[in-house]
Amino acid sequence: MTLTLDVGNSNITGGVFDDDTLILQFRQTTHKNSSSDEIGIFLRSVLRENNIPHEQISQIGICSVVPPINYSLSSAALKYFGIEPLFIQAGIKNGLKLKMQNPKEIGADLIADSIGAVSLCPNKNLIIVDLGTATTIHAVSKNKEYLGGSILPGLKISVQALASGTSKLPHVDIKKCSTACSTATIEAIQSGIFFGTAGGIKEICRSIKTEVFNSDDPAEMPFVIGTGGFAKIFEEYGIFDEIFPELTLIGVKKALELNRLNFE
């Protein structure tokens, strides 16, 4: 079995694969100062409570955008599973052609998302939108070329910025909204965050389509994928062609397959 971890600024999302089937998902708040023992005990307990013997884990892949926790993650994998984990980064085998000025700047999450998207939607031009702590929008060609993209504040950061940067605007829950013209402050913030994010995504996707995939052939138009914790609230808004909530974990699993010879 394979243990995969997607370590974001807000949450650690984990998944266990039995061959290609994702049989378990779990989530934990990210604590940058977590020790290796705290992480290892948590992972072992999650597996135990879900009737998965930790001895059955044969490989571990980690996608982390939180460098301060990486040493503890690596130490936990070695101490509690006896496995050296694979960290997703530009230098590993990823099956992509990284068309960036400095490939080392590409986030591990963007690489994992791209690997996962290419495996799920082969031979297609792709735009991948990941709505997490930040909202990332990036393009991958049907020839597996990572072409770059845009980064904008995530929904949670936007809510926090309004609350902390103003005297009277409160923190609000993030939710799907049906109207933009709201008659109460809380609903006005929620609609502004919802429609502002939706509009930003649609405009960036439109611009990427024109800049990168400009073609009169409908077959060349990019397939737009949504993923990340907040993607589902836009499910009926017409932004995405398909939503893959587990895209990053799938990408980590595929990266392990590409690099398997290095760990055998």
Distances (CA, A) of 129 to 150, 216, 257, 259: 10, 23, 24, 25
**Segment 123-157, tens digit of pLDDT:** 999 999 999 889 999 999 999 999 999 999 999 99
What does the pLDDT read at residue 47? 96
Catalytic residue of the set 109, 113, 217, 241: 109
| Cα four-point dihedral sign 250, 107, 76, 58 | positive
Are 252 and 63 a contacting pair, CB within 8 Å?
yes
Task: Record the tokens describing residue 191, joined without a space.
Answer: 């609609």
- Chain mean position to CA 158: 18
Per-residue model confidence as pLDDT tens for the chain (264 residues): 999 999 998 889 999 999 989 999 999 999 989 999 999 999 999 999 999 999 999 999 999 999 999 999 999 999 999 999 999 988 888 889 998 889 888 999 999 999 999 999 999 999 999 998 899 999 999 999 999 999 999 999 999 999 999 888 889 999 998 899 988 999 999 999 999 999 999 999 999 999 999 877 777 889 999 999 899 999 988 899 999 999 999 999 999 999 975 444
Same fold, 2-87 and 97-248: yes
The CATH architecture annotation of domain 97-248 reads 2-Layer Sandwich (3.30)
The CATH code of domain 2-87 reads 3.30.420.40
Residue 147's contacts (CB-CB under 8 Å, 6 or more residues apart) are 99, 138, 139, 140, 141, 212
Dist CA 173 CA 45 (whole Å): 31
Rounded to two decimals, the pTM is 0.89
**18 flagged as catalytic:** no
Every domain of the chain and the residues it spans: 2-87, 97-248
